[in-house]
Amino acid sequence: MVNQENPSKNPQKKRGQGDESPCRELETASPRSSSFDAKIVQKEIAVTFDGTFDGFLCVVYSVYYDKIIPLSVQVDGREQLSIGLEVRFIDTDVEKAARVYTGIRKKISEDAAHYVYSAFLAEDEARFLAILKYIQLGFKVGHMVNSHLQEDFVRQVHKLAKYVQREAHLLLGFCRFAETSQKVYYCHVTPKSDVLPLLAIHFCERLMNQQWVIHDKVRNKAAIYDGNSYVIASVPAGDANITYAEGEKETQELWVTFFKTLAIDARKNYKLQRQLLPLYFRKNMTEFQ
């Protein structure tokens, strides 16, 4: 499976060892290749996939190897399609996804891979087609793709990726863990973007000796860390049934008291506070309860 949570750490195979290029046809496609446009037969369809990052990379694979031109790319079950338009569901194949992702990293750049994955985590229905066009341009112009700001889809990918990274960065400081009776630390969040994988990577290093759960209540899934590795799994909708450890409530009360005592009434600036700490984060933070 493609290392979706931390694309920059994906291992790369060395060339010159007799292995076939992991994304041969994608790598050979370039403006200097007259066969690039000829290879893609004009077969316009609507494409759906399972909503995973691997599934989306398989859509990219099908664009090149199955010669399709998606008029739209949507998650299966959520699509809004025009009457009479052919719809094709693209199956997820982790080997194909790995080949495409390796091609992005080698033939475009690591930065491009970072933009692709971060933009994919955003909540924007139009992001899939924009990312696809970004990747197609990248295979033509290489690492210069991020300089083509005259293209709307390049600016859109950059905008979405930066929004996701900013939200993830803020949440790293705003996550509030509470100790449960099972000695597992629990935190719930309600992010606008699907930043759970990015949070999990950070806290695997930050709290490596603790067992913890980060619960995304918007998407009904959780990152679960057992002290060695983590998984992201679906969980029932609604609030989790949590039994807190003895003394946890008192600890939270002490934190609230510290927060209020530290504040200087004469220097309160609510406008600046809302800029640095958006209101939608506060419902999950102990000090604002």
DSSP 51: S
State the Cα–Cα distance between residues 98 and 102, nearest whole angstrom: 6
DSSP string spanning 60-79?
HHHHHHS--EEEEEEETTS-
Specify whether the CB–CB gap between 172 and 199 falls below 8 A. Answer: yes
Give the pLDDT score at 84.
66
CA distances from 185 to 41, 70, 207, 218, 225 (A): 53, 44, 10, 20, 10
**pLDDT tens digit at each of 289 positions of the chain:** 555 545 444 444 443 444 443 444 454 444 334 344 444 445 678 899 999 999 999 999 999 998 888 988 999 877 666 666 788 899 999 999 999 999 999 999 999 999 999 999 999 989 999 999 999 999 999 999 999 999 999 999 999 999 999 999 999 999 999 999 999 999 999 999 999 999 999 999 999 999 999 999 999 999 999 999 999 999 988 778 888 898 888 988 898 888 888 888 888 888 898 888 888 888 888 888 7
In DSSP terms, 74 is beta-bridged to: 48
